[in-house]
């Protein structure tokens, strides 16, 4: 990605601002020279006027031919020359005023370039220094980037604004002399139009950046972490609570405020609000999540080691740091998205004015992420070392291998329960044991390069963690990790009634699945209802094109008719050539205008809930036959591509008007329709309309099996 390139970062944030500053310095010199030139020219003309006015009148003529003034390729004499000189002096007064105001612009360019350079250099150095310091101290990392989090949005927006103002100032400085010209040439008009366009883009980008700044929230309210689990008290899980309290006492860690037992996800701790599904109970403080599957398949010393590892994060304040890091990540993401939105055009392209700020935003976020990853790896290895003091390095190594061996089975069972909440038995423990007996556990050797998933931290890969334990991976140890537990009834050492716990956890998972499925069904129904049963007809917005063609064609036809009837003086028989040329060209253009007018009055695309019809396709395209859909705006042309599931379903092009507007790729089953945005729709509205119909069709297709089952 170009925005993540270090070379692009240096060029856009350091080199380009210095070039802008240098341009501003050069414009200061040019502005002064131009102002002096105009002033001297006006002074000379005033002196000439005084001199000419003092000339004595001629004795024998009413016009004083000694008074002469040349302007605009003409030479004026007498009183008319004096009038033209006064007009020229008045014009130079205006030019001098423009030159005076024009001198205000180069300092803005110079300041803008230096300010952009200063902002870019400051942000770059700050991110580098804080990242390096943060790798030595987590506290410094947190405090430093908390400050950056508050300042970065304003700094990025300020960078966009100063570059935009510099661009506007450069454009105004260069085009200002053209404004005094009475008759602009074609080239000068183009320069003026381009300058006006660049200035407008710069001002709009700056305004959007300032507007987006208000939407960036510096203080994010952390959303509760959503977890499908049940809170378990000491009466329901006396053995588990006792194990956790003993481990916490040994490690000097706080005892969790809540132990939540579930089946999904892994064993982890979190120090923020947690929403427990399906009851939507929010618990605060420190929460330890314990999945039943791990308790079923792990030996007691392996369970103690894993729980000790997680409690070591409490002792090292790792969870607090992780939760404090999350708002920083969100703030950086919000800042980058705001700048990108400010610089994004309707066709999706990114303005060059926003590129430096985006590159800086990505760089700061990357520096912070690298430092966080460093501490995450360090703290994981330290937590591993502490957990091994509860049992042994051998138990810690076996726990890692066992986790790798059971993860696949547990995930499969979770997916089964989630997909079939009404068909699954209500005891996940028995389901796990039966599935393990039938398919066995996975070979952990293939997962040595993977890492344990965690909601807030990243772990080193398992091979590095095993090496830190000095745990040699052998075929015997791999085979042991993949063996079924000796006593699946070992849950009694953790729970007073493990069967009741299993049923509660299973019912919680299936109820959460039912609620999620119900919400999904409601979303699908709303999406399916978002389109009307009646056809939506789209008309090409070609009326302006037709009018333009008529404006060109009618004078040509009129000229041909006039020449045919009355001839042209001095042309003779050659006039007939002009008649034919004007008549043929005008007629062709007129016919094209009629065709454009007809296209504007005839719907070219008709959207139905189940299909889309095009005037130049022999059969409709059914939404259900699509495997993919693409709608993009390419420089004002809407390019809609339908990819069909089977090439045989592709329609054929019919009619003369389809050539160039419809592209068929029979082998790939692709139908591409090119058009201008339809009448009454802008590009974004057209894209939203087509996407809405496709989504509605997909929603109806997804709802169809449910409707059949209900019937």
Q: What is the pLDDT of residues 291-346, one digit of tens each?
A: 998 888 888 898 999 999 888 887 766 666 666 777 777 777 777 777 777 666 65
pLDDT for position 456: 45
CB of 192 within 8 A of CB of 240? no
Q: For residue 507, which phi and psi values (nearest 5 degrees)?
A: -65, -35
324 within a domain of the structure (yes/no): no
**459 vs 477, more confident:** 477
Q: Select from 519, 548, 574 the last residue of a domain.
A: 519
Note the pLDDT of residue 658.
61
What does the DSSP assignment read for 225-255?
A: EEEEEEE--TTT-HHHHHHHHHHHHHHT-PP
Whole-angstrom CA distances from 224 to 221, 277, 470 are 9, 12, 38
Mean pLDDT value across residues 381-395: 85
Q: What value does the mean pLDDT take over residues 448-458?
A: 52
Q: How far is CA 624 from CA 604, 621, 667, 697, in A?
A: 21, 9, 19, 7
The span from the CA of 361 to the CA of 342, in Å, is 14
3-state DSSP assignment of residue 221:
coil
- The boundaries of the domain holding residue 279 are 225-316+372-519
Is residue 120 within 8 Å of 14, Cβ to Cβ? yes
Distance of CA 542 to the CA centre of its chain: 32
pLDDT band at 457; cut points 50, 70, 90 = very low
3-state secondary structure of 538: strand
Above 60 in pLDDT, residue 217?
no
Q: To the nearest 10°, report the CA torsion of 264, 265, 271, 275.
A: -30
**Phi and psi angles of residue 10, each rounded to the nearest 5 degrees, phi first:** -65, -45
DSSP 470-509: T----HHHHHHHTSPPS-GGGGGGT-S-HHHHHHHHHHHH
Which stretches within 215-354 are classed as H helix? Answer: 238-251, 292-297, 300-315, 318-342
Residue 115 pLDDT class (50, 70, 90 cuts): very high
How many C-beta neighbours within 10 Å does residue 634 have?
11
The pLDDT assigned to 31 comes to 85
What's the whole-number mean pLDDT along residues 97-121?
A: 88
Residue for token digits 């110079």?
110
Specify whether 294 is located in the same domain as 406. Answer: yes
Contact yes or no for 284/310 (Cβ under 8 A): no
User: Is residue 635 situated within a structural domain?
Assistant: yes
Q: Using CA atoms, how far apart are residues 328 and 183, in angstroms rounded to an integer?
A: 57
Question: What are the backbone dihedrals phi and psi of residue 615, each rounded to the nearest 5 degrees, phi first?
Answer: -65, -25
Question: Is the same domain home to 40 and 130?
Answer: yes
Residue 67 and residue 189 in one domain: yes
**Short-list 395, 384, 415, 253, CA closest to 320:** 253
Q: How far apart are CA 672 and CA 181, in angstroms?
A: 48
The lowest-confidence range among 133-142, 252-261, 466-475 is 466-475
Q: What would the pLDDT profile of 29-65 be if each residue is shown by its tens digit?
A: 888 888 888 888 888 888 887 877 777 777 666 677 7
The answer to whether 323 touches 223, Cβ cutoff 8 Å, is no
Based on the fold, state whether residues 17 and 55 are members of the same structural domain: yes
Residue 325 included in any domain: no
Read off the DSSP letter of residue 288.
E
- Of 405 and 183, more confident: 405
Question: Would you state the pLDDT for residue 596?
Answer: 81
| DSSP structure class, residue 673 | E
Cα distances from 228 to residues 5, 319, 504, in angstroms, run: 41, 20, 11
**What is the rounded average pLDDT of the residues 412-419?**
84
Distance separating alpha carbons of residues 69 and 93, to the nearest angstrom: 18
C-beta separation of 595 from 616 below 8 A: no
The answer to whether position 137 is within a domain reads yes
Q: How far apart are CA 282 and CA 260, in angstroms?
A: 12
Give the range among 206-215, 404-413, 678-687 with minimum mean pLDDT: 206-215
User: What mean pLDDT do residues 535-546 have?
Assistant: 85
Residues 182, 209, single domain; the answer is: yes
Tens-place pLDDT, residues 257-291 = 999 999 877 888 888 889 998 888 999 988 999 99
Mean pLDDT across the chain: 81
Asked if residue 421 has pLDDT above 90, the reply is no
Grade residue 197 by pLDDT with cuts at 50, 70 and 90.
Answer: low
Do 564 and 702 sit in the same domain of this protein? no
Give yes or no: residues 35 and 106 share one domain.
Answer: yes
Report how far residue 589's alpha carbon sits from residue 556's, in angstroms, rounded to the nearest whole number.
9
Instruction: Give per-residue pLDDT as tens, 135-189.
Output: 888 788 878 887 888 888 888 888 888 888 888 888 888 877 765 555 555 555 5
Find all residues with CB under 8 Å of 382, minimum gap 6, and list them.
Answer: 312, 316
Residue in 328, 322, 27 with CA at minimum distance from that of residue 170: 27
Q: Which long-range contacts (CB under 8 A, 24 or more apart) does 267-270 make?
A: 267/291, 267/294, 267/306, 267/307, 267/310, 268/310, 268/454, 268/455, 269/310, 269/311, 269/313, 269/314, 269/319, 270/225, 270/319, 270/323, 270/455, 270/456
Token pair in block for residue 483: 């063996």
Please say if the pLDDT value at position 599 is more than 90. no
DSSP β-bridge partners for residue 69: 76
Identify the CATH number of the domain in which residue 691 sits. 2.30.29
- Answer yes or no: is 675 within a domain: yes
Work out the angle at residue 273's Cα, subtended by the Cα atoms of residues 271 and 275, and round it to the nearest 5 degrees.
Answer: 130
% pLDDT > 90, the chain:
13
The answer to whether the CB of 381 falls within 8 A of the CB of 460 is: yes
Domain boundary among 519, 547, 582: 519
- Domain membership of residue 529 (yes or no) is no
Dist. CA 427–CA 509, nearest whole Å: 11
In this prediction, residues 465-475 reach a mean pLDDT of 78
Residue 477 in domain: yes
Question: In this predicted model, which residue has the larger pLDDT, 574 or 305?
Answer: 305
Rounded distance between C-alpha atoms, residue 286 and residue 259, angstroms: 9
Please tell me the predicted confidence (pLDDT) of residue 219.
46
Kindly state whether residues 592 and 687 are assigned to the same domain. Answer: no
Of 600, 626, 646, which residue sits at a domain end?
Answer: 600
Verify that 172 and 299 share a domain, yes or no: no
Whole-number Cα distances in Å, 644 to 627, 649, 668: 5, 7, 8
At 241, the pLDDT band (50, 70, 90 cuts) reads very high
3-class DSSP state for residue 150?
A: helix
3-class DSSP assignment, residue 659 = strand
Same domain, 596 and 609: no
Residue 339 lies in a domain: no
* pLDDT band, residue 102 (cuts 50/70/90): confident
According to the model, what pLDDT value does residue 711 have?
Answer: 46
Name the band, by pLDDT with cuts 50, 70 and 90, for residue 569. Answer: low
Q: Model confidence over 474-497: pLDDT tens digits?
A: 788 888 888 876 665 578 899 999
Distance CA 286, CA 157 (A): 38
Report how many domains make up the chain: 4
CA 262 vs. chain centroid, Å, equals 35
- SS3 category, 67: coil
Distances (CA, A) of 607 to 48, 64, 613, 661: 76, 81, 7, 18
> Are residues 202 and 100 both part of a single domain?
yes
Q: How many residues does the chain have?
A: 711
Asked if 338 and 344 count as a contact pair (C-beta separation under 8 A), the reply is no
| Lowest-pLDDT choice from 331-340, 525-534, 633-642 | 331-340
- Whether residues 105 and 244 fall in one domain: no
């Amino acid at each position: 990605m170009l925005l993540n390139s270090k070379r692009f970062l240096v060029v856009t944030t350091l080199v380009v601002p210095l070039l802008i500053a240098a341009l501003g310095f050069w414009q200061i010199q040019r502005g002064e020279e131009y102002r002096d030139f105009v002033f001297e020219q006006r002074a000379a003309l005033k002196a000439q006027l005084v001199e000419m006015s003092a000339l004595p009148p001629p004795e024998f003529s009413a016009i004083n031919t000694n008074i002469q003034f040349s302007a605009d390729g003409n030479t004026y004499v007498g009183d008319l020359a004096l009038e033209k000189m006064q007009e020229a002096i008045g014009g130079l007064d205006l030019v001098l005023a423009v030159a005076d105001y024009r001198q205000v612009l180069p300092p803005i360019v110079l300041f803008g370039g230096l300010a952009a350079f200063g902002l870019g250099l400051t942000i770059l150095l700050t991110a580098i220094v804080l990242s390096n310091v943060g790798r030595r101290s987590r506290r410094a990392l947190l405090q430093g980037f908390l400050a950056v989090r508050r300042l970065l949005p304003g700094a990025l927006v300020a960078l966009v604004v100063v570059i935009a103002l510099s661009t506007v100032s450069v454009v105004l400085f260069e085009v200002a002399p053209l404004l005094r010209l009475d008759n602009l040439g074609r080239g000068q008009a183009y320069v003026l139009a381009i300058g006006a366009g660049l200035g407008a883009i710069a001002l709009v980008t700056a305004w959007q950046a300032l507007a987006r700044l208000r939407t960036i929230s510096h203080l994010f309210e952390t959303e509760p972490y959503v977890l499908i689990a049940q809170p378990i008290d000491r009466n329901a899980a006396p053995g588990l609570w006792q194990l956790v309290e003993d481990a916490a006492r040994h490690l000097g860690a706080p005892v969790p405020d809540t132990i939540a037992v579930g089946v999904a996800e892994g064993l982890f701790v979190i120090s923020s609000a947690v929403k427990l599904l399906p009851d939507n109970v929010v618990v605060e403080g420190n929460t330890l999540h314990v999945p039943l599957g791990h308790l079923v398949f792990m030996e007691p010393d392996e369970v103690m080691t894993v729980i000790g590892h997680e409690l070591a994060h409490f002792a090292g304040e790792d969870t607090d740091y992780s939760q404090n890091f999350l708002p920083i990540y969100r703030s950086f993401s919000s800042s980058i998205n705001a700048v990108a939105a400010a610089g994004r055009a309707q066709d999706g392209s990114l303005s060059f004015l926003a590129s430096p700020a985006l590159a800086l935003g990505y760089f700061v976020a990357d520096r912070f992420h690298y430092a966080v990853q460093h501490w995450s790896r360090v703290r994981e290895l330290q937590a591993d070392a502490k957990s091994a003091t509860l049992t042994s390095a051998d138990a810690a190594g076996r726990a890692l291998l066992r986790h790798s061996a059971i993860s696949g089975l547990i995930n499969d069972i979770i997916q089964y329960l989630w997909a079939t909440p009404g068909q699954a038995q209500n005891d996940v423990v028995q389901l796990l044991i039966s599935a393990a007996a039938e398919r066995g556990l996975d070979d952990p050797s293939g997962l040595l390069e993977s890492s344990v998933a965690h909601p807030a931290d990243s772990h080193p890969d398992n091979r590095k963690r095993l090496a830190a334990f000095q745990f040699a991976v052998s075929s015997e140890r791999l085979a042991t990790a993949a063996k079924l537990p000796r006593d699946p009834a070992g849950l009694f050492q953790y729970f007073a009634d493990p069967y009741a716990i299993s049923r509660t956890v299973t019912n919680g998972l299936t109820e959460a699945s039912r609620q999620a499925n119900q919400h999904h069904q409601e979303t699908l129904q709303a999406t399916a209802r978002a389109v009307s049963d009646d056809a939506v007809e789209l008309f090409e917005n070609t009326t302006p094109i037709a009018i333009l063609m008529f404006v060109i064609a009618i004078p040509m036809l009129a000229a041909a008719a006039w020449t045919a009837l009355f001839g042209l003086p001095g042309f003779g028989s050659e006039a007939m050539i002009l008649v034919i040329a004007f008549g043929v060209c005008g007629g062709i253009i007129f016919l094209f205008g009629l065709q454009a007018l007809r296209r504007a009055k005839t719907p070219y695309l008709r959207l139905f809930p189940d299909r889309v019809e095009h005037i130049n396709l022999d059969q409709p395209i059914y939404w259900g036959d699509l495997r993919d859909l693409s709608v993009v705006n390419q420089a004002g042309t809407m390019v809609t591509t339908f990819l069909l599931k089977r090439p045989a379903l592709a329609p054929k092009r019919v009619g003369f008007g389809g050539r160039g507007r419809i592209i068929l790729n029979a082998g790939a089953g692709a139908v591409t329709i090119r058009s201008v945005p339809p009448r009454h729709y802008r590009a974004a509205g057209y894209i939203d309309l087509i996407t809405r119909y496709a989504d509605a069709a997909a929603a109806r297709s997804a709802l169809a099996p449910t409707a059949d089952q209900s019937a």
